[in-house]
């Protein structure tokens, strides 16, 4: 995506005032749609194959959830992408719970995890991520942005407004903690 598109999205979202001004979100969505489809494709790659859960369906479900949020839309493009990734995570977890999918591959990019921890139960991973958030909200957010949104270290550092070295350190700690907890499960 070019810098002009990112600036256009930021301008549109800066005008967002909540549910009463859905026009800003409606105008911004086509500009980030391809990024959201990419995230959804990655998320669904290893998610249980539910014929009703397609890439487009996941993007649209995330959009509907985002549209319902109030007073959180004075954000930029990267924050919108992060929020959409979080919504997709919740949609997939809700789907897994509804279908009682206990041993399915998670919709995650776990390439940086040890081999034994690359295929955890999606519900276990979600529970561990919530537990980690209780210990360190920033570490949990970094894992979510890296594993669900596929964001890189630099993008995460910029989004969270912390130094790159902080993201690297928190990622290593969180990854080790999660790997250990998944190995113990």
Q: Based on the fold, state whether residues 82 and 3 are members of the same structural domain.
A: yes
| Alpha helix positions (H), the chain | 3-14, 22-45, 55-68, 77-98, 122-135, 137-147, 153-160, 164-184
Where residue 181 falls among pLDDT bands split at 50, 70, 90? confident
Question: Does the pLDDT at position 141 exceed 90?
Answer: yes
pTM for this predicted structure = 0.51
95 and 49 share a domain? Answer: yes
Same domain (yes/no): 20, 91:
yes
What tokens does 13 get?
């979202």
Residues 6+ apart with CB under 8 A from 150: 38, 39, 42, 85, 109
Which of 24-28, 55-59, 117-121, 141-145 has the highest mean predicted lDDT (pLDDT)?
141-145
Secondary structure class of 179 (helix, strand, coil): helix
Residue 61 scores a pLDDT above 90: no
Q: How far apart are CA 24 and CA 40, in angstroms?
A: 22
Please say if the pLDDT value at position 73 is more than 80.
no
Residue 169 CB-density burial (10 A; 0-12 exposed, 13-18 middle, 19+ buried): middle
Together in a domain, 93 and 129: no
Domain of residue 136: give its range.
Answer: 108-185
pLDDT at 51 over 60: no
Please name the residue that has the structure tokens 């980030």.
32
- Shared-domain flag, residues 82 and 136: no
Indicate the average pLDDT of the chain. 76
């Amino acid at each position: 995506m070019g810098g002009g598109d990112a600036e256009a999205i930021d301008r549109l979202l800066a005008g967002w005032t909540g549910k009463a001004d859905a026009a800003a979100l409606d105008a911004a969505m086509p500009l980030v749609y391809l990024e959201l489809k990419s995230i959804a494709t990655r998320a669904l790659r290893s998610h249980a194959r539910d014929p009703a859960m397609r890439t487009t369906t996941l993007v649209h479900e995330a959009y509907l959830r985002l549209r319902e949020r109030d007073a959180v839309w004075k954000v930029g493009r990267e924050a919108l992408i992060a929020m959409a990734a979080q919504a997709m995570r919740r949609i997939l977890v809700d789907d897994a719970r509804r279908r009682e999918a206990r041993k399915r591959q998670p919709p995650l990019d776990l390439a940086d995890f040890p081999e034994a921890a690359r295929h955890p139960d999606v519900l276990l991973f979600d529970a561990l991520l919530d537990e980690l958030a209780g210990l360190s909200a920033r570490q949990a957010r970094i894992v979510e942005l890296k594993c669900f949104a596929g964001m890189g270290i630099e993008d995460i550092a910029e989004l969270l407004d912390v130094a790159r070295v902080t993201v690297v350190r928190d990622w290593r700690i969180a990854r080790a903690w999660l790997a250990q907890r998944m190995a113990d499960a």
